[in-house]
Structure 1
């Protein structure tokens, strides 16, 4: 899920990792080994961050949406005048919509956004119909390859959350149902489905998450469903058989889940006790099991995060980040290109804290930066952090 509200006071957007497509928003293509502030977003109040495979996106409190990074498929919602953009710029076609954009997602090369009235918008790559129903066609029977200007899609659905995979889209409606379109997985004989279909199985769903080619759905009852590619056990079913229909994830009975995250080929779930469970591809240590980098067919507790009181998890292409209640971030997985954010390019399965070493606002000396939300992309990470004075932090601990 890519939505959060930051606390009052000074807040910043941080970025680190690969910058080869400008996805860090620093005005260049340099990579960063440490968390750095995206200064061009100041003084905007950012309420949501989304990190894609090669793109980035933020939503501001006024509902405006800014994008940057790779743009060869119009993934940024801007005409593809340049292949990449390294400075955040507004998606102008969404700035004029009547309602405020409140949540968004980036897929392989397409984007989705939803406003506060439940209307969904899509743009970018569309060769598999992943941008939804598209009435305008290049020729008979052929979908437009790219949607350059964001368009309203699935107008008959009232949506509260969107998720985007490699070549497919998933939305959660206000009545707790899931709809999907684009290239399904396994694809079988169907090359594309541009018309949304209702996903059968999960009911009264409250959270969805899409990985590259698999999906997770968490019911209000606490049941967790998964479907799609399962090559590395990322569905948590105890095997590696792909599923075209949702199946219950094993090994989580008796737990109260509060957050889920689907990455490239791995999955995470978070309990109300701040415990993280991980499964799927273990290469590079992205599951957080230390020196054990084997893939896991069913969820297992990440013991190295035990006692840290985690409140959010995010899965990237080959790395993961966990956010604690006191605003610390722990990263683990593949370390090259600075994607772990603590100054070393070492690949590790041991969660290590990501420091926030940026100047205090207004020369403040009594306080610290506290991370509010984190979003992992393919080879980079975004985060929202706010400055907390010592007095405010003491008051929080007493509550």
Structure 2
């Protein structure tokens, strides 16, 4: 076993449940859940396995048991060259190399992108996007986003806080185009619990959804915003990468500056205080010399 794999097992205890032979065959691992209690991994021969917490059948193995204690194949995804997973509270999206999306788990709010509120325990392809080549996916707690090769952004699912960016607060059971961002040429997306972030090719950040902790970075103490809004002071820095925590955002600029905004109750912004930040604050340089 390589040093890197030993470190991986120590940092993610649930991986200790894997037998040695199967562990050595892993090509890529995805760990989800607040307690890192949901695991999906892909092997070198393109088989896909999952185990752990299985709320609403989100592990995609066709079983309804709440806890799967050993790896099971996700038969529907084996051999499909899956390259990305994203997980919400009780649902999971998978993206294949050829740009197709599969979904399973809870559909209570439409987060699977299909009609009906029944949970699904076997991944299904989202038919409404079958003519699009998807290059990115992101899940909030109960909503989903998909980014196309053309730079278009679709959203669906829970929308109480306007996290779909459609100008209203109605849930969507089918992928719906965010028309306001059509001309922005979006290249990267991310979701927090109830907010969403999009990065344009020009390096600008757009945010929408819940804002009680300042996680939209717009400098205003609004409870939410249901349309994409450019992050305050966005013209003063060009962003190349962005990611979300539950209620905060971190972004890296092209000159290597790390910026953050949103909830800071646990010190997750690294500012030296626990004060929430409603606008981006410089944190440190991440340039590697």
TM-score by length of 1: 0.63
Distance 2:220 2:240 in 1: 24
Matched, 1:277 2:206: yes
For 2:175, the equivalent position in structure 1 comes to 246
Distance 2:229 2:191 in 1: 15
Q: Map 1:145-294; keep pairs closer than 5 Å.
A: 145-153=66-74, 154-155=77-78, 157-186=80-109, 190-202=117-129, 203-294=132-223
Displacement of 1:291? 3.1
Displacement of 1:330? 0.8
Q: Map 1:24-103; keep pairs closer than 5 Å.
A: 65-66=8-9, 68=11, 76-78=14-16, 96-101=23-28
The verdict on how the C-alpha distance between 1:331 and 1:111 changes in structure 2, with shifts beyond 3 A counting, is same
Q: Map 1:124-135; keep pairs closer than 5 Å.
A: 124-134=52-62
Distance 2:21 2:87 in 1: 18
Kept after mapping to 2: 8 A contact 1:259/1:270: yes
The verdict on how the C-alpha distance between 1:265 and 1:93 changes in structure 2, with shifts beyond 3 A counting, is farther
Instruction: Give the structure, 1 or 2, with the largest relative contact order (CA under 8 Å, sep 6 or more).
Output: 1
Cα distance per residue 1:290-336 (max 9 Å; x no partner): 13333111111113232311111111111111111222211111121
Distance 2:84 2:72 in 1: 17
Distance 1:266 1:171 in 2: 20
Q: 5+ residue gaps in structure 1?
A: 1-42, 45-59, 80-90, 136-142, 357-368, 371-386, 389-399
Taking only aligned residues, the RMSD between alpha carbons, in angstroms, comes to 2.7
Q: Map 1:7-26; keep pairs closer than 5 Å.
A: none
Displacement of 1:110? 2.1
For 1:112, the equivalent position in structure 2 comes to 40
Q: 5+ residue gaps in structure 2?
A: none
The verdict on how the C-alpha distance between 1:208 and 1:117 changes in structure 2, with shifts beyond 3 A counting, is farther
TM-score by length of 2: 0.86
Displacement of 1:144? 2.2
Distance 2:119 2:19 in 1: 29
What SS does structure 2 have at the residue aligned with 1:195?
Answer: strand
Kept after mapping to 1: 8 A contact 2:133/2:149: yes
The verdict on how the C-alpha distance between 1:332 and 1:192 changes in structure 2, with shifts beyond 3 A counting, is same
Larger radius of gyration: 1
